[in-house]
């Protein structure tokens, strides 16, 4: 996610999630951050 210019919506569609909000909730549960926060963090 850090190394792509795809939007969060495009990524969630690519990963076959039904909605961006569901993808965001699953992502936050697994990482402790929203996709936006993860993308902006220094890894």
Predicted confidence (pLDDT) per residue in 31-42, tens digit: 999 999 998 886
Question: Is 3 a member of any domain?
Answer: no
Identify the residue whose tokens are 């993860």: 38
Q: How many CB atoms lie within 10 A of CB 25?
A: 13
Q: Determine, yes or no, domain membership for 24.
A: yes
Q: Is 6 exposed, middle or buried (0-12, 13-18, 19+ CB in 10 A)?
A: exposed
pLDDT at 42: 67
Q: Phi and psi (nearest 5°) for 18? A: -70, -30
**Would you say residue 2 lies in a domain?**
no
Q: Give the pLDDT of residue 35.
A: 94
What's the domain range around 25?
Answer: 8-40
Global pTM reads 0.80
Domain count, the chain: 1
Q: CB of 29 within 8 A of CB of 39? A: no
């Amino acid at each position: 996610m850090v190394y792509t210019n795809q939007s969060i919506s495009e990524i969630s569609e690519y990963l076959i999630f039904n909605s961006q909000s569901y993808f965001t909730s699953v992502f936050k549960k697994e990482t402790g951050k929203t996709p936006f926060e993860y993308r902006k963090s220094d890894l």
